[in-house]
Structure 1
């Protein structure tokens, strides 16, 4: 063999060795953080052993002899499945994403620091009167830290890829997650500033037509109320919040819950359903868990990774589940700044100094960035985030005030009856929820739990003068005066982010309710049968029949029929699809694609010509805004937005706009899905991909299999099963049911649940996204609650020992 051939051979062997070594390294990196599922592990700090039973889906049931031990074990087990997600959410609340992701997250970090979550959380912990809660949080933190210390060389792959290690966990990090949920659930931040900009650009007439007509919304949560004892347009802010969405750290979208009482249930006991509609990404936002301390605690449901208490679920006597109230808990003030000294602002005839908050934000691979935020007594100056030009606008948000959600969730886990439930619900102020209730004694109810501001003047819709003092808050509505329903005559309660009460209620709650489509369909299905079963509730969870179609389709068909002589073959085919359609948004059907693409195109044709590119883009990112406006314009059969200002000398009617939109959508679907309308499928257009925060890097996705999909998706934002999308990015499904729970109070063991993702956040785990296909098919897993049934069904048993 010649020298040249020897060199080539040696190089080949070396490359092969490197490649094989790389494969071994990657395989080790993928799997190194997988937790043991069986056997025994020493967990320092335990007083007695804790048994961890896992079913075939990896869902843990922890059985301990004391509450301190249970929460210590919860911290350890949760960290073994979700440590990097916990750290990511912690960094979101602290404004420390730039440390691991780089400069693109600086504005996001500044926004989150402006919310002062840690400052509030420390105050809450300092003022918590129940020492058992603090003990639980300390034990949970100890369990997390024990896991971190024992796995410094076996961390989840995200830590290795991003080149950092997790810091010790503290109770304040758990408390911060409550603050983050409060921020993510607030409605006005994404709506009222956009409306302010539209008013500035186009005037009052255009502005007024965009305001929701809540007097016309007749489907209210409490049907039988029991009583009550032009500048740059926001580019910086949009980027800040979009980054959180891309990381899977944006939680809110909407939710459903409903309960059938004993007289409406085939079993003679209440039947309970909840599905909270949140961002769909991987890992999923909820961690399923079952906690047992015989004689002290027995609770099952979903936990937010990073804190130990069940947020929505049931114990031995009570079930509860949540939907967003959509309360307007945020106001914006135009401040008057001194011309002579810009460090001062006017309030009631006096000059007050701005509070200055200086932030040093570490950035990966670069020097730290120095930022400054100004505060008045109302709150932070948010103009820089919202792109409002020279106007100095501040934000008053209820989330800055002390609230007791952490104590409330702790108490819900232990509630025995309606009284206990309401006492726990008092803690919900910043996190605004309609919490549905059922108990084993046959009672059902629904409590509005929200801090509802009492304003001296106004309703919170407009940006108001901050210097006069006339638009200040005078407190919040007392808990005893917040709406609730208990055992209504019709035998059911339900909510779907819809209007809370009728006009008789003396306090203004919000403009920002969800429209009536989901709640009307839910109540139609509840009333369709005399007696309901878990199987009926499963069908309700996965119902794709649209009440919105019933409102819009007749008018659409009439306009197309009036132009029947002008139809092209493709347009005639699309018309025939709509004529014969049941109104169900099935993935394999063509008519749903025609209908929703009509809606999306209609929104663009209505608003884009007046707004222009950037303002229209910002407007469509707040999906609820356009829904209110389209509903109002359709109901009123026209309005100022209908005219196309680009067609000089012609004033279009609503019929004209519908006809042009139909022509546009057929041509566009022809380009997207083919020329023959019969071949179109909604699921080819409307898809779900469960994306990991690092999955946008294609090489990482290929190596670690981070993302899953795209899957054809049925439903839409207007169906009870809500595979929703942003109008700024149709038809990429980004929100939906983050879980589905059906609790059978006749026999807890005959309850059913499903997640869109899975128990584990580790892509190498068999429990990573292992429930996705079941979820998409509408299947469920049986959710055993009695310890005997848990033991019988356990596939894995792990003992956490207190000593060697």
Structure 2
């Protein structure tokens, strides 16, 4: 009994210590939204009013002061996120997370992001206004690092806070640009398929640019097999373990005055990015004489990528153009330091980096560089023994003016000055959407586009030695797909194929037409769009394509006696309109059937290594509907059986497996196979990988409506386990209405702050899951009256 009492007192003491630590932490580690503090470098005091959702409204006497204040308040909410983002492109993740991320660090070092950053920063003019503003933003961050509390993630990982520099901005940009590219997931895989099988297998994979009719209208004013297989696996595995989200897709449309109820432009935008915690975007409203912008900032970026004010609004989607090419290099038979070119043997350049690794020895990493780009063989031991492959990535091969572009579009005051800022954007490829108070609407596909010699297919690994497969011409910006004030009175982008320009379609890795068709169908049907109708549209969960997939699958089933339950299931599917509310049974059955349809069609030929990578590609998404409609295909036959299977065999087998799988997972009663039981969203924090910390750092899970390739694109991987855990989707939903600009709305997936001790860490999460919105405040009187707190930043 005495021992139990003693243990009880020890346990009580432990609990009291934990409570004390938590209370102290909440007071010392949380962001400071109220009071006053000194910010060196300010010319005048700056007022920061925080609204109900923790969004700072910054009022300064100069833009330089406003952006210095932005750096400070951004850092106190998102310093850990800034730290991770700057580390990715410079190969610094292993130092935080250990040896599991060594290959990821090698991959990003091999891309040449850090090398390109060094060159770019070295050539910057310190008197350039863009550089001055960027440095002021960094000074604000660094003052918080010096004087502010240390976020608990730094304490848990044991890493030190260090000042941010211009190099960190450009390294973060490099990571963003790479995740916008798609070739690294596709070219090695397609080369492996072509080598392992034959060209007849490529015909049904929808890898060309002509596959889907819903295109964005343009309006102008063997060893190879092993190499490709290993490269596809290494890139896939390196990216899958990253502790920061990847950019995936997006929707946007801008409706002209002729199609709106109040005769003013409406812009809608929801960029699709991998979910994580904290949310991708940091919202901030900056005000200074001559400058006002309500903007969405990436961690460590001084200028917003999305934004609006009373004059104009802009948004982004991924262009998905092809800006990355892989090349086989021919190595000199007696000298491995040389490679073949059309002019003879050239010598590789080399780069050597030391990669610090948490709880392990530092790794020395050296890679070679040809005239086309860095060799990727050193990323993994599996690649070292294979023929050498270089990667030519436009981002590192052209002068980097992305910071200038972001400054230009955020400071443009009309459509002409906005458009003039765009040609300097070489990579990543972006669809830039624009609308203004004067009634102008526009879409520009922005990137430095280039032509390859005729007959060269850039979706395969090319031959570097012959000199016949390299770019021959860069296009002028006027030749890019674009549309300005078209007769349709709307512009849109859903990562689908732009229509032809210069007599042809530009090559890329475009997503299927599902979302595009739905957007066009909805916009065409009415001319009285308003804020509420656009909010409803941006959360729409209906696919115009998926019911036709069901029709094709159902009519191609084997003729056989069906059970009563199978008849009822097919009846549910036959009446389905392609929508994805939480209570949908058809949605659950559809995706289970489609998964087994893909597995039984492709897995036997691709094998257990390539099939999961195949499921992760855009062309896999593109081929589902066309494949369901095909009567003949070389893929129907299962190469592992003596019989020759046909379409009916594959579809029937897939249906049977889907029903068996659903019963095992969700029970015998098919009426209870609802979408909310399998389609869930949890916002994962890197620290949440530790189970004991999961509930503290992660947000969710929530059952969510929507699905892959609907406007409310809450996407998930196909993995065969029947759990459709959402991994990517709208990183924000914004609707800007110029008829009532002060009541425009948006939402973040979780909250404004990345600090778990902040009240704004997850205060928008349930609203986001429910498809709700909140105001983006612009009126100073309303902001001050309703401000939850005021932070005064004093000059020294």
Q: TM-score range by the shorter chain?
A: over 0.9
Structure 2 portions without partners, runs of 5+: none
What is the alpha-carbon distance in structure 2 between the residues aligned to residue 189 and residue 461 of structure 1? 10
What does 1:646-685 correspond to in 2, within 5 Å? 646-649=640-643, 651-685=644-678
Question: How does 1:305-320 map onto structure 2 within 5 Å?
Answer: 305-320=299-314
Give me the whole-angstrom Cα distance separating, in 2, the residues matched to 1:639 and 1:364.
50
Q: Are the counterparts in 2 of residues 248 and 280 from structure 1 also a CA contact under 8 Å?
A: no
For 1:290, what is the secondary structure of its paired residue?
strand
Is 1:167 matched up with 2:162? yes
Distance across 1 between alignment mates of 2:156 and 2:232: 28
After superposition, the Cα gap between the structure-2 partners of 1:248 and 1:744, relative to the gap in structure 1 and judged at 3 Å, is farther
Shift of residue 635, structure 1, vs aligned partner: 4.0
Judge which range, 413-422 or 624-633, deviates more.
624-633
Instruction: Indicate how the Cα distance of structure 1 residues 27 and 604 shifts in structure 2: closer, same or farther if over 3 A, else same.
Output: farther
1:490 aligns with 2:488: yes
Aligned with 1:606 (options 601, 606, 617) = 601
Cα distance in 2 for residues equivalent to 1:511 and 1:117: 22
TM-score w.r.t. the length of structure 2 is 0.95
Following superposition, the deviation at residue 16 of structure 1 comes to 3.7
Q: Which moved more, 1:706-715 or 1:659-668?
A: 706-715
Q: Which residue of 2 aligns with 1:95?
A: 91
Report whether the alignment pairs 1:441 with 2:458. Answer: no
Aligned counterpart for 1:645 among listed residues 639, 648, 654: 639
Kindly report which structure 2 residues correspond to 1:132-531, keeping only aligned pairs within 5 A, or say none: 132-151=129-148, 154-221=149-216, 223-226=217-220, 230-231=225-226, 238=233, 242=237, 244-294=239-289, 296-385=290-379, 390-400=386-396, 401-457=398-454, 458-502=456-500, 504-506=501-503, 509-531=506-528
Post-superposition offset of 1:507: 5.8
Residue-by-residue CA offset, 1:201-237 (whole Å, 9 max, x unaligned): 222222343242422322222x25215xx43875687
Q: CA deviation at 1:51?
A: 0.7
Distance 1:350 1:123 in 2: 28
1:611-760 superposed matches below 5 A = 611-620=606-615, 622-649=616-643, 651-702=644-695, 705-728=696-719, 731-760=724-753
TM-score (norm 1): 0.94
| Residues 188 and 228, structure 2, Cα contact 8 Å, conserved in 1 | no
- CA deviation vs aligned residue, 1:651-694 (integer Å, no higher than 9, x gap): 22223222221111111111111111111111211111111111
Q: Matched residue of 2:355: which SS?
A: strand
Name the residue aligned to 2:115. Answer: 119
Q: Secondary structure at the match of 2:701?
A: strand
Q: Which whole-Å deviations, capped at 9, do the CAs of 1:93-113 have from their partners, x for residues lacking one?
A: 211111111111111111111
SS in 2 for 1:215: coil
CA distance in 1, matches of 2:471, 2:27: 54
Are the equivalent residues in 2 in contact too, given 1:236–1:385 (CA < 8 A)? no
Summarize the Cα distance change of 1:375–1:658 in structure 2 as closer, same or farther, 3 Å threshold.
same
Distance 2:677 2:228 in 1: 33
**What is the alpha-carbon distance in structure 1 between the residues aligned to residue 435 and residue 189 of structure 2?**
40
* The 10-residue stretch of structure 1 (631-640 or 61-70) with the greater mean CA deviation from structure 2: 631-640
- Structure 1: distance between partners of 2:206 and 2:725: 27
**Shift in alpha-carbon separation, 1:550–1:385, aligned structure 2, 3 A:** farther
Which residue does 1:75 correspond to in 2? 71
Quick one: structure 1 residues 238 and 75, their matched pair in 2 at CA, closer, same or farther if it must change by over 3 Å? farther
Superposed counterparts of 1:791-802, under 5 Å? 791-802=784-795
Mapped partners of 2:198, 2:576: distance in 1: 41
Given that 2:319 and 2:495 are in contact with CA atoms closer than 8 Å, whether structure 1 keeps it comes out as yes
Partner Cα distance (2:673, 2:38) in 1: 58
CA distance in 1 between partners of 2:761 and 2:568 (Å): 43
Tell me, yes or no, if the aligned pair for 1:244 and 1:250 is still in contact at 8 Å. no
Change (3 A) 1:461 1:244: closer
Alpha-carbon shift at residue 746 of structure 1 (Å): 1.9
Render the CA deviation track for 1:690-746: whole Å, top value 9, x for unaligned.
1111101011224xx111222112221121110101124751110101000100112
Question: Which region of structure 1 is more displaced relative to structure 2, 571-580 or 89-98?
Answer: 571-580
Deviation of residue 638 (structure 1)?
3.1
- Partner of 1:357, secondary structure, is strand
Aligned residues: 786
CA distance in 1, matches of 2:239, 2:639: 36
Distance 1:10 1:655, change over 3 A: closer
RMSD value, Cα: 2.1
Q: For 1:631 and 1:403, locate their aligned partners in 2 and report how far apart those are by CA, in whole Å.
A: 39
Structure 2 counterpart of 1:573, from 568, 576, 593: 568
Q: Following the alignment from structure 1 to structure 2, what is the Cα–Cα distance between the partners of residues 241 and 40? A: 48
Cα distance in 2, alignment partners of residues 610 and 459 from structure 1: 23
Of 754-763 and 576-585, more deviation after overlay is shown by: 576-585
1:541, CA displacement in angstroms?
A: 0.9
**61-70 or 168-177, which deviates more:** 168-177
- Could you tell me whether the CA contact under 8 Å between 2:218 and 2:481 is conserved in 1? no
Question: Do the aligned partners of residues 797 and 156 (structure 1) sit closer, same or farther apart at CA in structure 2, a change above 3 Å counting?
Answer: same
Secondary structure (helix, strand or coil) at the match of 1:505 reads coil
- The structural deviation recorded for 1:27 is 4.1
Indicate whether 1:39 and 2:35 are aligned: yes
**Contact between 1:254 and 1:497, CA under 8 Å: does it hold in 2?**
yes
C-alpha contact 2:441 2:491 (8 A) present in aligned 1: yes
For the Cα contact (< 8 Å) 2:185–2:236, is it kept in 1?
no
- Contact 1:90/1:177, CA 8 A, preserved across alignment: yes
> How far is 1:240 from its partner?
6.1
Cα distance in structure 1, aligned partners of 2:464 and 2:787:
60
Distance 2:552 2:249 in 1: 28
Alpha-carbon distance, 1:791 to partner: 2.1
Q: Quote the offset at 1:35 in angstroms.
A: 1.8
Per-residue deviation, residues 303-353 of structure 1 (Å, max 9, x unmatched): 001112111111331111111111011111111111111111111151111
- Aligned mates of 1:201, 1:212 — CA distance in 2: 17
Change (3 A) 1:70 1:120: same
Query: Is the contact between residue 361 and residue 368 of structure 1 (CA under 8 Å) also seen in structure 2?
Result: yes
Quote the offset at 1:424 in angstroms. Answer: 1.3
Quote the offset at 1:57 in angstroms. 0.6
